[in-house]
Chain A
Amino acid sequence: MTDTATTLESLAAEAAATAGANPHGREGESYTAVNSEKNRSLYASRVKVYPKLVHGSFRRLKWLVMAVTLAIYYITPWLRWDRGPSLPDQAVLLDFPARRFYFFFLEIWPQEFYYITGLLILAALGLFLVTSVAGRVWCGYTCPQTVWTDLFIHVERFFEGDRAKRIRLDKSPMSVGKLARKTGKHLTWILIALATGGAWVFYFADAPTLAGQLVSFEAPAAAYLFIALFAFTTYLLGGIAREQVCIYMCPWPRIQGAMFDEDSLLVSYKEDRGEKRGPHKKGTSWEGRGDCIDCGQCVAACPMGIDIRDGMQLECIQCALCIDACNEIMDKVERPRGLIAYDTFRNQERRRAGEAPRLNLVRPRTILYSSVLALVAAIMLVALSNRSTLDVSVLADRNPLFVRLSDGSIRNGYQVKIVNKEHSERTYRVSIEGLDGAILTRAVLAGEANEIVVVEADKLENVRFFVSLPAERAQALNGGEADFDFIVTDLADGKTATKETTFRGPAE
């Protein structure tokens, strides 16, 4: 066990090295949370956080999540999805000029924006459910702020070394070496930031075309503007602001307090097991004291700069890195892992009362969230599977409501909009039903007037029709009006769309 001894010695050495890093550090204690009582004043200067690299299952999980989320972000615009010759073949594309949102097999028109609303509701409910089960999983693992900050911290670590080295470097006077390290770090940050902004614009235009334009400086000014904007915000939020975004800007930490309860799994310090804390000399007894040796590694690892042992706090994004940090130490001092672990408030109480901890995942809150989630998902699925590829709307003329023709018959005008959501040009026949003796004519100024309407792929055609009713029929109308249907038939596959409207004549 000489390993343990040397490690603890080195930790003590690091503690000594970093003691001065925090001007507010209490005497005899090297690690202080940045939000500790003594650090408070009306306006607080930021105390820079130097997160230490940890090793363990949660760190590995976070590497994996980072790789997957970044890959999704950077690769998605380059995925292709064939939709036929006249439509873009980009799998995910927000086509603002053509007012379409393409998402693999989905194609959403502006009037179908409720699908997006549905997706957002699903996302919100998913967030609520996950939070009530396991706290701020979103914040700790997948939030872009967390992922990019983690990446930026890793770049910082690559150029400037781990926590102790970074603290020393920042305290040291400017030198060629320091300048080179800082320059390298910031340049890499800027490159990542540019790539982030660069990937963003590919979601709004054909990625290969835009990439070519960007390189040859032929891209629209808006593309460069948004790349610059996103590069700037990525650099600012991921490199400079970091934890302050979560603490001061983000509303979610305030909302989440209402999302979890005493049965939610939260990253917590097991006070009942850890206290009373204090330094432990190797070989001495663990009797009458807690397992926490007050090494401060949980604080050193924390990207938010807080002390998990102070209990649940708004600043904690639940990234679980303190669990890894503590487990490493527990292994070394040969105590069981999990002094800091995913735990519930209720289990803290139960252990204190001498009862066995119990996991209670199925409870009214989670049942409610899950069932609403399932309900909305089902509604979405039904709506999507019944999505029509032919939409018709009919607008009857209001001014004048009707026109009397020279033979005494009554004529109404209608604007018929035919929306072809198929990926090929379609030919439709327009007919009417439910109005005996009525004559349908298409209003055209030139060319042949008939009831055949050709609509290009993925386009909307606005055609005007007249419906005339002979005088005697018009006089027989009940109350001067009658409902009837416009029927639009796709000549290729016989699909029809029916729209009811009203014929109006003089009310006697």
Chain B
Amino acid sequence: MSEKHKDEVTGVETTGHSWDGIRELNNPLPKWWIYTFYATIVWSFAYWVVMPAWPYLTGSGWTYTQGVIGYEQRNVVTNELAAVAEGRSGAMERIATMPLEEIANDPALMEVALGAGKAAFGDNCAPCHGSGAQGSKGFPNLNDDDWIWGGTLDDIHTTLAHGIRWDGDDETRNNVMMAYGRDGILNRTEINDVAEYVLSLSGRAGNQEAAARGAEVFASQCVACHGDGGTGNQELGAPNLTDAIWLYGGEKASIVETVSNGRSGVMPAWGGRLDEGTINALTLFVYSLGGGEK
């Protein structure tokens, strides 16, 4: 115990504690202060009864006292989320039923659609197309202006709803890029020649002679889908071979591989998995990324 000590200047008793020779005066607290302190203690007891407070162990694990008014933060969050969903439901209903062009012309509705579209994209599309829709080999970049199956609002909507080469959907987009090498339709030389020709279509002429020979192969085998001059056909999902965008790589080795083994990428049909409002929102979101066609 500390001894009693009186401060000389003020004549006030000190607490008896000394820090580097500095002592603390033991001045009295006001009574209302201590009563306020008691009140907070009473309050804490009331709080234990009213609110969730004490953890305890049961046979099935830890739980806690629930409190008499049944307050739970999870319920608060659930209610808040429900309120947001309810506030948005009117907008999402309109997004599900209105023509896409009309939604695009309504800035307020468009804001909701783009927000919902972005969230749905992250949940459903990002695994293949990337979080920024930048795509990767075999998965198209949705930001650019090159569309295999068309980039208008309706085209994008159809692709989203029915998918590409998706077994479960009768209206799915379908075509075949045949395996010309594997199936023995073209020999190695012909494949090399046609690859040289395809390179020349995007201005990367290598072997002129081979390309000239390849033009004949192209005319007999490829124009049906890729068209005269290789500009592609969105109706058939045949890519444009003259531009700078290559889904499976544009260098010669990749082109040879594509011609030899064919390509048949798959995109799931989202109709039935996602509601119509979400599909419309996704359509508008993808369209807004910067490559949408009129």
Contact = CB atoms under 8 A, between A and B. Distances in A.
Interface of A: 37, 40-46, 244, 248, 397-400, 403-408, 411, 413, 443, 445-447, 466, 471
Contacts of A445: 104, 110, 284, 287-288, 292
B33 to A, nearest CB: 7
B143 A407 contact: no
B28 A41 contact: yes
A452 B243 CA distance: 32
A443 B288 contact: yes
B4 interface: no
A466 B11 CA distance: 79
Given A407-B243, A471-B244, A43 B34 contact: yes
Contacts of B206: none
Interface residues of B, number: 36
B292 A43 contact: no
Contacts of B141: 400, 403-404
B69 interface: no
Residue of B13, B30, B33, B287 most packed against chain A (CB within 10 A): B30
A413 B132 CA distance: 12
Given A40-B12, A413-B290, A445-B284, A400 B143 contact: yes
Q: Which 3 A-B pairs have the closest CB atoms?
A: A399-B132, A406-B243, A408-B244
A179 B81 CA distance: 55
B29 A44 contact: yes
A399 B134 contact: yes
B240 interface: yes
Contact of A446 (B104, B133, B145, B291): B104
A443 B27 contact: no
A406 B146 contact: yes
A405 B244 contact: yes
Given A399-B132, A446-B104, A406 B287 contact: no
Interface string B118-145: 0000000000001111100000010111
Contacts of A397: 132
B105 interface: yes
Contacts of A46: 30-32
Contact of A44 (B31, B110, B144, B245): B31
Given A40-B28, A406-B245, A447 B105 contact: yes
B244 A404 contact: yes
Interface string B264-294: 0000000000000000000010011011100
Interface of B is mostly: loop
Nearest to B131: A399
A181 to B, nearest CB: 25
A413 B10 CA distance: 73
B20 interface: no
Contacts of B291: 403, 405
B107 to A, nearest CB: 9
B101 interface: yes
Nearest to A311: B9
Nearest to A400: B134
B111 to A, nearest CB: 10
B30 A44 contact: yes
Residue of A44, A244, A248 most packed against chain B (CB within 10 A): A44
A462 to B, nearest CB: 10
A404 B31 CA distance: 76
Nearest to B292: A445
A443 B114 CA distance: 14
B285 to A, nearest CB: 10
B244 A403 contact: no
Given A43-B29, A399-B132, A403-B143, A37 B244 contact: no
11 contacts: A37-B10, A41-B28, A45-B31, A46-B32, A248-B30, A399-B132, A400-B143, A406-B146, A408-B244, A446-B101, A471-B244
Given A42-B28, A244-B30, A404 B287 contact: no
B29 A42 contact: yes
A413 to B, nearest CB: 6
A260 B88 CA distance: 61
Given A248-B30, A399-B134, 7 more contacts: A43-B29, A400-B133, A404-B244, A405-B144, A405-B291, A406-B245, A447-B105
A43 B141 CA distance: 76
Contacts of A37: 10-12
A448 to B, nearest CB: 12
Contacts of B11: 37
Contacts of B10: 37
B106 to A, nearest CB: 9
Interface in B3-48: 10-13, 27-34
B231 to A, nearest CB: 11
A456 to B, nearest CB: 13
A403 B110 CA distance: 24
A249 B216 CA distance: 95
Interface string B97-115: 0000100110000100000
A45 B292 CA distance: 79
Contacts of A446: 101, 104-105
Nearest to A241: B32
Contacts of A466: 290
